[in-house]
Amino acid sequence: MANASTKTLDHILHLVPPATLPECIDAFRKLGFTISPGGTHSHGLTANALVIFADGTYLELAHFVAPPHTNSTHGWAQKQPGWIDYAFSGNGGAPSIAEAINARAEKEGTAVRYEPEIRGERKRDEDGALLQWTITGRVGGEERFRFPFYCGDLTPRELRVPLEPSNVTHPNTAQGIAYFKILVPQGELDGTVHQLTSVLGSAPRTSTSSEIAWDLDPQPSRVTLVSAPTQLILRAAQDEEELAYVRARGASVYEVGFFVLESKDELVGGTPYGRVAWVRGVGDGGGA
């Protein structure tokens, strides 16, 4: 695995207020998503449920089991509810994703640094199976949330992301993640583009003065009929809604678009804390 991809979406994280995961599950069900059981992380502070897609990606719906202490060092403790982070696939071993990104960034002079991988784990609610992985994230403060962290499985990925038909079949016909949009302040767009290019290891597919998009690599385990790639879209905040979002939350995920097989009356909707959009999927006549 000498040339491991650093641009394969694994999952997107949606945080809700402490002890409100059941209400979050209800909100996503009302949007037509099937909810799969998650579990409790090993430190006991957070728990989750999942929305798994046929393209092999998923949403992590998470909450703190109880309100975190005001001086908590947990990375989510000071985050406002909504889309807060996103993960790309690591490799769970050698070669180190962090070392590969750091070497590329040093060569390109983009000042990106990733932490050494650390281990994480949680137990599945339905059967108590222990899931283990390694994660690495960008060094830095709030600005790190505009960049992916990486999750590499130590136990089989299908334990963490079970792709049984009952899990990936959604009443709203969602097949996967079409795109996710990250908002940044206008003055930070160019610098973020250069740094994200180092992290992803590829140039953008499209670029305008206010919006840049990269095509991402598919999950090897995908079973969807949708052939179009997931896109990461980086956008400089433009209108008042976007500017207010960045002022309140910093640069971060703003909107997630989902491939669906059936057209929707409303192209953009959401939960109380997260903005979603619907994209009519393009089929290729067979699964991958």
Residues near 163 by Cβ (< 8 Å), separated by ≥ 6? 52, 54, 56, 221, 223
* Average confidence score pLDDT of the chain: 91
Residue 145: CA atoms inside 13 Å, Cβ hemisphere, count?
25
- Mean per-residue pLDDT, 14-32: 95
Q: How confident is the model at residue 269 (pLDDT cuts 50, 70, 90)?
A: confident
Pairing of strands 9-15, 149-153: unpaired
pLDDT in the model for residue 93: 77
Backbone angles phi, psi at 101, to 5 degrees: -65, -45
Q: Are strands 118-124 and 206-207 parallel, antiparallel or unpaired?
A: unpaired
State residue 225's pLDDT score: 67
Strands of the sheet containing 252-260, edge to edge, are 206-207, 211-215, 231-236, 174-184, 252-260, 275-280, 268-270
Q: What is the pLDDT of residues 146-181, one digit of tens each?
A: 999 999 999 999 999 999 999 999 999 999 999 999
Task: Quote the pTM value.
Answer: 0.93
Domains and CATH numbers, the chain: 9-160 (3.10.180.10), 165-280 (3.10.180.10)
Q: What is the mean pLDDT of residues 68-97?
A: 88
Q: pLDDT above 70 covers what percent of the chain?
A: 96
Instruction: Indicate the pLDDT class of residue 1, thresholds 50, 70 and 90.
Output: very low
| For the chain, percent of residues with pLDDT exceeding 90 | 73
Per-residue pLDDT for 282 more than 70? no
User: How does strand 211-215 pair with strand 231-236?
Assistant: antiparallel
Would you say how long the chain is, in residues? 288
Instruction: Give phi and psi for 257, each to the nearest 5.
Output: -105, 140
Q: To 5 degrees, how large is the angle CA 130–CA 135–CA 140?
A: 145
pLDDT score, position 224: 65
Q: pLDDT tens digits, residue range 198-253?
A: 999 999 999 999 999 999 999 987 776 677 899 999 999 999 999 999 999 999 99
Confidence of residue 275 (pLDDT cuts 50, 70, 90): very high
pLDDT of residue 78: 86
Separation between Cα atoms, residue 230 and residue 154, nearest integer Å: 25
